[in-house]
Amino acid sequence: MNKELKNLLFEISKSPVIDDGELGSSSELIINYIHKGLQVSRVGIWLLNEDKQLLKSYLLKEEHNIISNISFERSVFPVFFSALDKERNLVIHRDEADYINSEFLDSYLIPNDIITILASPIRHHGEMVGVLICERKGSLKPWVHDDEVFVSALADCFGRAMGAKETLTFQQKLAQVNIDLEGQVAQRTQALNEALGHLKATQSTLVESEKMAALGNLVAGVSHEVNTPLGIAVTSVSHCIDELNLINKRFKDNELAEEDFVSFLDTLSDGLHLIDRNLSRAAELVHNFKRTAADQLTLEKERFNLSQYLGQISSPLRPLTRKHNIQLDIQISEDIFVESYPGAIAQIFTNLVSNCFRHAYPEDFSGNKQIVLGAERCADEIKMFYKDNGKGLTPEVKEKIFEPFFTTARNAGGTGLGMSIVFNLVTQTLGGRLALNSDVGKGLEIDIFIKATE
């Protein structure tokens, strides 16, 4: 290659414009260097569409004028596209009789006074995504080997610029994802801190009476209940940060593929939803204690699909049941619509499942652990049910299970409030009734009946 072209290639290869991610500036620079090096009339960067049936000008300049909206379709120029598919440099002369020339002659070469064309493939991630086309007008000056090498090198520069653009886009998205993640965590952490502040204020009020003073000493039990969803949220945050660090490393090492980034976004979305659900659950547990200890929380009555809602309830419970190696199943045969209090129903099933963790399965329990939640129609009532295959209840425990502060696991942090809350929510908030069926070694079944609605 002659010295002038070598110098031009050296200059453009060092230019920060190629790697700054601004494709428009890179395109202008490359085309200007071709004008300078080869003194051609027209230079264009052309890009293929996704299915490679259309080649459209991305930037086409004749001298200092930009020519817009020119494209070639494979169906109209099949021979030309077939030649491009070989991904080699392509030369077209107007005066040579060949099939490519015949396609272009009347529609493009003659109307634009083009004598000869040199096209070099543009590659990105090893795939041809377009061509860099140089067009000479006026008298014929054949393309020499140095010309082809020069244009090929600049086509590769544009491929490099496309990579820089992709990297910049990934970097911007990663930065935004990081900002969103930090915002979500900060927002939920603030909500949890506020809820815990309400809990401490409630504890101070409770000591005014003997019974409420006893509740104040059991705040540790509520804190233990809060730790479960909070621990899951913290673990999920750590996982999201690990994934973010991994994707950043791949990005810095130039190993970040689009599918890796899409997979990362999916993982991050799942993680944020898990954080949101569990921090909300932790705040709900604190409010449950506040409601039991002091004011009755005002619940809103609404019409909703109970079948779908039980499925929603099970979602934040599954990480907890998996932690305890318990299989959680939902049994619903049809869509059941009710007019009731969804928040109360969520709290009922959450308390029942949480109670199972502490009481249902002793350390020496053998066999598969299973919890079943469900609902079905029974005449003019709706029956919701909870079942487990744990150790069951003794007659003494069955008699006192719904009494406030009764627990068989005081030393393990039990508060004795969980089943009492369930009883009050069913009988007072939902206006329903409970039926308990359990024997030692035969598990526990609790049926909850509420009035059916049309």
- CATH code: domain 3-162 is 3.30.450.40
pLDDT per residue over 173-230, tens digit each?
Answer: 988 988 888 888 888 888 888 888 877 665 444 333 333 333 343 344 455 557 777 8
Tokens representing residue 329 in the block: 């199943």
> How many residues does the structure list for the chain?
454
pLDDT per residue over 291-305, tens digit each?
Answer: 433 333 446 788 989
pTM value? Answer: 0.44
The pair phi, psi for residue 189, each rounded to 5°, is -65, -40
Q: Where are the domains of the chain?
A: 3-162, 167-293, 302-451
pLDDT per residue over 415-454, tens digit each?
Answer: 667 788 889 889 988 999 999 999 998 999 999 999 987 6
Tokens representing residue 336 in the block: 């059941």
Give the separation between CA 178 and CA 187, rounded to whole angstroms: 14
CATH number for the 302-451 domain, one of 3.30.565.10, 3.40.50.2300, 3.20.20.210, 3.40.50.970? 3.30.565.10
Query: Does 135 score more than 90 pLDDT?
Result: yes
Helix ranges (H only) for 207-305 are: 210-216, 219-252, 258-293
Tokens representing residue 166 in the block: 């992709």
Return the pLDDT at 52. Answer: 93
Q: Which of 326, 396, 314 is CA-nearest to residue 368?
A: 326
The whole-number average pLDDT for the span 372-396 is 92
Share of the chain above pLDDT 70, in %: 88
Query: Does 308 score more than 90 pLDDT?
Result: no
Return the pLDDT at 355. Answer: 85
Return the pLDDT at 213. Answer: 31
pLDDT per residue over 361-377, tens digit each?
Answer: 888 888 899 999 999 98
Which helix (H) or strand (E) is 174 found in, with range? helix 145-206
CB 46 within 8 A of CB 130: yes
Tokens representing residue 116 in the block: 């000869």
Angle between helices 23-38 and 3-14 (to 10 degrees): 170
Query: Does 359 score more than 50 pLDDT?
Result: yes
pLDDT per residue over 241-291, tens digit each?
Answer: 888 888 888 888 888 788 888 888 888 888 888 888 888 877 766 665 554
